[in-house]
């Protein structure tokens, strides 16, 4: 469906924004580009759309080289963060405008517009203008325009970031259901790793213009390839603490873990997720530095050496700052990373 081979982007001789980007997106796949602000994900999406030139590499859409194709000839639709609606036009006219631009016959326009409006629940708002709609309704208008274009690939650039938390969660579910129902290939940009984990078939994690890892949400979460992916994907983030290796035993703070295989390094970075820490009467004592009740869970902060760590207990636990509790880390879930390169040690 879509193939990116060795793509790079630079704006001047010395500064590359993206370099050596390679991936494929299959037909009907929900593919998410995720990473921190400034990592190059929106630039990559614009390169696919034809809104930014490709400095090097090749882009193929349906096995056709698309580097120099005009945006309208790439048969893509795009939904932006700010929805890009025409404020003086009604919802109906905003949706019809896409059909008019694509030279759809007048006889078919109304039927296609109504079908798209019904899919996103806008049939009662067709005569309203964008200023009369809520953020979620305006987002649905933008989606209806993408649907009505009948493009095989839909590009989305942080489309939910302007919505409040409750509506964002609702729209995540609706958008995923709609994509599956229509069979659209979706390439979706976000900096929100929760969106990436809950919506995608596969995730591509970007940082500083380079691919860190591509995989399913569970592959990314359970088997991160490096320290960046491990700490970026997950809420709360993975704890990472420097450990010293002595006789194949890793010591970090008052904790120690025996390694299953020989390590050549004198030091490693030890990674463990907050949910992999449990309270245990025979565990290592730690001092609570903060405690947050989340209703069904409790997030507890403590220090290992000078590093702040977080535990997430799936229970309601009443703790005060200064309390000493005993905890154990699930050793089967611990990840070890090379100190210099940050790559996972298998």
Structure tokens given for 115? 């079908």
| Position 100 pLDDT exceeds 90 | no
Whether the predicted pLDDT of 81 surpasses 80: no
Among 6-15, 159-168, 312-321, the least confident range: 159-168
pLDDT at site 109: 86
Measure the CA–CA gap between 196 and 220, rounded to whole angstroms.
10
Mean pLDDT on 123-128: 92
Categorize the per-residue pLDDT at 32 as very low, low, confident or very high, splitting at 50, 70 and 90: very high
Confidence of residue 111 (pLDDT cuts 50, 70, 90): confident
Residue ranges of the chain assigned to CATH 3.40.50.300? 2-232
For position 155, what pLDDT does the model report?
Answer: 93
**Residue 269: what pLDDT?**
95
What would the pLDDT profile of 40-59 be if each residue is shown by its tens digit? 999 999 999 999 999 999 99
CATH fold for domain 239-337: OB fold (Dihydrolipoamide Acetyltransferase, E2P) (2.40.50)
pLDDT at 105: 79
Burial class (CB in 10 A: 0-12, 13-18, 19+), 49: middle
* Average pLDDT across the chain, whole number: 91
pLDDT for 136 beyond 90: no
Any idea which of 33-37, 161-165, 175-179 has the lowest mean pLDDT? 161-165
Q: What is the location of CATH 2.40.50.140 in the chain?
A: 239-337
What would the DSSP string read from start to end of 162-201? TS-HHHHHHHHHHHHHHHHHHT-EEEEEES-HHHHHHH-S
CATH topology for the 2-232 domain: Rossmann fold (3.40.50)
Helix (H, G, I), strand (E, B) or coil at 230: helix
pTM of the model: 0.89
> Structure tokens of 204?
């591509």
């Amino acid at each position: 469906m879509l193939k990116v081979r060795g793509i790079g982007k630079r704006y001047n001789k010395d500064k590359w924004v993206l370099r050596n980007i390679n991936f494929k997106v299959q037909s009907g796949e929900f593919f998410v580009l995720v990473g921190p602000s400034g990592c190059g994900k929106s630039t990559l999406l614009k390169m696919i759309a034809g809104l930014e030139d490709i400095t090097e590499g090749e882009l193929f859409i349906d096995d056709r080289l698309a580097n120099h194709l005009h945006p309208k000839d790439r048969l893509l639709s795009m939904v932006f963060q700010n929805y890009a609606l025409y404020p003086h036009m009604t919802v109906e006219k905003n949706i019809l405008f896409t059909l008019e631009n694509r030279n759809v016959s007048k006889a078919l326009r109304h039927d296609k517009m109504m079908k798209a409006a019904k899919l996103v629940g806008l049939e009662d708002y067709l005569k309203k203008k964008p200023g009369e709609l809520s953020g979620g309704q305006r987002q649905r208008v933008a989606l209806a325009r993408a649907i009505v274009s009948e493009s095989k690939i839909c590009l989305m650039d942080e489309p939910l970031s302007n919505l409040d938390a409750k509506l964002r969660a609702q729209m995540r579910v609706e958008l995923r259901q709609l994509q599956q129902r229509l069979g659209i290939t979706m390439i979706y940009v976000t900096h929100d790793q929760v969106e990436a984990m809950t919506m995608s078939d596969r995730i591509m994690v970007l940082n500083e213009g380079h691919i860190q890892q591509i995989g399913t949400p569970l592959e990314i979460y359970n088997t991160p390839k490096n320290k960046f992916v491990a700490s970026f994907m997950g809420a709360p983030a993975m704890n990472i603490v420097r450990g010293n290796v002595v006789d194949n035993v890793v010591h970090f703070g008052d904790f120690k873990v025996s390694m299953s295989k020989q390590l050549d390094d004198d030091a490693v970075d030890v990674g463990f997720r907050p949910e992999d820490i449990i309270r245990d009467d025979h565990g290592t004592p730690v001092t609570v530095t903060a405690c947050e009740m989340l209703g069904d869970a409790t997030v507890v902060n403590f220090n290992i050496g000078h590093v702040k760590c977080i535990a997430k207990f799936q229970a309601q636990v009443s703790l005060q700052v200064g309390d000493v509790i005993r905890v154990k880390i699930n050793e089967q879930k611990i990840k070890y990373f090379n100190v210099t390169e940050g790559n996972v040690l298998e």
